[in-house]
Amino acid sequence: MLDVPAGSAPPVRRRRRSAWLAVALAACAAGEIAEPVLPAPHLLAPLLAGLAVAVAGFSAGKLPARVNRASQAILGVLMGSYLSPHTLHEASGQILPLTAVTAATVVLSLGAAHVLARIGGVDRASATLGMIAGGSAAVVSVAEEQGADPRLVAFMQYLRVALVAATAPVIVHWLLTPAATSSATTDPEVWNVVASPDQDLGLLLLVIIAFTGIHLGRLMRLPSPGLLGPMLLTAAVTMSGTATGFAPTGPLRTALFTVVGLDIGLRFTRPAVLRMRRLLPLALALTLGVSTACAALAWLLAATTRIPLSDAYLATTPGGINAVLATAVATHADVPLISSVQSLRLFVMVLLAPLLIRLATPRTRRRA
């Protein structure tokens, strides 16, 4: 690290802040441009932009620590907001088969992670987080805290998200007879940053819950307290009906996903890219295997319940919740049911991720 004279420190800091701001604005623009062609564009486009900048040698390293901590806390609030009384009510009628499907998805994820670690030479933590089916943004954001390589985790998570987003509309269109269509709608509150008519109050609640959740997570000694603390507190507040309307949305959610994607992209190096290129065939085969097994679970769910096969398929896809819900709306599927199943599994997967890593990692390595 170069020594910087005391008098020149403020200009250096200002230049660094200006550089980070320029990179962040470029990443936001990339996400907007990529919306018609990429799944999860505000995650993937900034990730690819950061990767290009880092591999080209123009910049390397991480985003400022304060930005990362704030993004994890806000992401935890977003994840916790998916669990609501309406979600539980929709899922309560089919609780046993849905619980079995969720448990089977966990087992499938762990099985794929085991194969990836044995054959691909990937460490257990990275393989486990990379193959967890659900909560890709949250899983990637806590990868480093769990001793995993966030670049590998992002690569495997977003490979699955891309596969689900690309195939779900086609498969549902094939399952539906006749194929349903929908008209586009315009959201009059597209510039709102929280899901509340009172933006000032919603933002204040968001800040209070995020920072209170961080402190509670540390007091409870949760793994990844910056994410799980706000997530659990948000779920408790939402379920109790104490407060609503503070979940990030619109530009704030876009900025949140941009930070997560950009942070991962900037960590890449040329050797890391070469390693992932070697892993691509195995990772793609495992992702296809998990997706096919989840489709089989959807068939079993439809055969044993009154859920139509197209709805069961969308409810059991291994992640890609945003693309799945968009497909559900476009095809007039049972959006409440699909949202409830996907949200519950997302919540469970993110909450169980640290425990799954501990179970999958040999005790001797954890001590080391």
Residue 127's domain comprises 13-182+192-367
Contact 206, 74 (CB under 8 A): yes
Residue 215 forms part of a structural domain: yes
DSSP per-residue codes, 249-276: -HHHHHHHHHHHHHHHHTT--HHHHHHH
Phi-psi region of 290 (alpha: psi -120 to 50; beta: other; left: phi over 0): alpha
Residue 158 forms part of a structural domain: yes
- Which structure tokens are listed for 368? 């080391």
Contact 60, 54 (CB under 8 A): yes
Phi-psi region of 24 (alpha: psi -120 to 50; beta: other; left: phi over 0): alpha
What CA dihedral angle connects 141, 142, 143 and 146, to 10 degrees?
A: 170
Residue 359 forms part of a structural domain: yes
Residue 46 forms part of a structural domain: yes
Q: Which residues contact 136 (CB under 8 A, 6 or more apart)?
A: 40, 43, 157, 158, 160, 161, 319, 320
Residue 86 forms part of a structural domain: yes
The neighbouring-strand residues paired with 194 are 248
Residue 239 forms part of a structural domain: yes
E strand or H helix that includes residue 131? helix 124-131
One digit per residue, pLDDT tens: the chain, 368 residues?
334 444 545 666 676 667 777 777 888 888 888 877 766 678 778 878 877 877 776 654 567 778 878 888 888 888 788 777 776 676 666 778 888 888 898 889 889 999 999 998 888 888 988 898 877 777 887 788 788 888 888 888 878 877 887 677 677 777 764 434 443 344 445 688 888 888 899 999 999 999 999 999 899 877 678 888 898 899 899 888 888 888 888 888 888 888 877 877 777 777 777 778 888 899 999 999 999 999 999 999 888 888 888 888 888 888 767 667 656 755 677 767 787 777 778 777 877 777 777 776 654 344 44
Count of structural domains within the chain: 1
Residue 236 burial by CB count (10 A; 0-12/13-18/19+): exposed, middle or buried?
middle
pTM above the 0.85 mark? no
CA distance linking residue 128 with residue 349, whole number of Å: 11
Residue 7 forms part of a structural domain: no
Residue 162 forms part of a structural domain: yes
The neighbouring-strand residues paired with 248 are 194
